[in-house]
Amino acid sequence: MKTMTCRELGGPCDLEHHGENADEIIKAQDRHLKEAEQAGDGTHQDARDAMKSRWRHPKRSMGWYRDTKAAFDRLPVE
C-alpha cells in the first residue's frame, strides 16, 4: 500500500489517497475531484478540468500518466 496526496496529483489539497498501484490512486483522485466539484468546491476546479481533459485525450495525457506512475513507484511501501 502506498499513499499520494491530492496535491501530488495536481490538486489543491493534502487529502491522502491510498492504493496498491498507481491506477487505484489515480481513480481515487478522479473520484475526489468529482465529489469536490459536485459539492461546489471551486478550489478543485482547475484540477478537475485537467483530469477531464486527460480522460478525453488519452494519447496526449500519457506523459502525465507515466510521470504519476513513476512517482508512485518511487514511494516506499507502507
What average pLDDT is seen over the chain? Answer: 92
pLDDT tops 90 at residue 2:
yes
Write out pLDDT tens, residues 11-48. Answer: 999 999 999 999 999 999 999 999 999 999 999 999 99
Q: How many domains does the chain have?
A: 1
Which has the higher per-residue pLDDT, 53 or 10?
Answer: 10
Question: Domain residues for 18?
Answer: 2-74
What percent of the chain is predicted at pLDDT more than 90?
73
Instruction: Kindly tell me the burial class for residue 59, based on how many C-beta atoms sit within 10 Å of its own C-beta (0-12, 13-18, 19 or more).
Output: exposed
Radius of gyration of the chain (CA): 12
pLDDT at 55: 77
The pTM of the full predicted model, rounded to 2 decimals, is 0.87
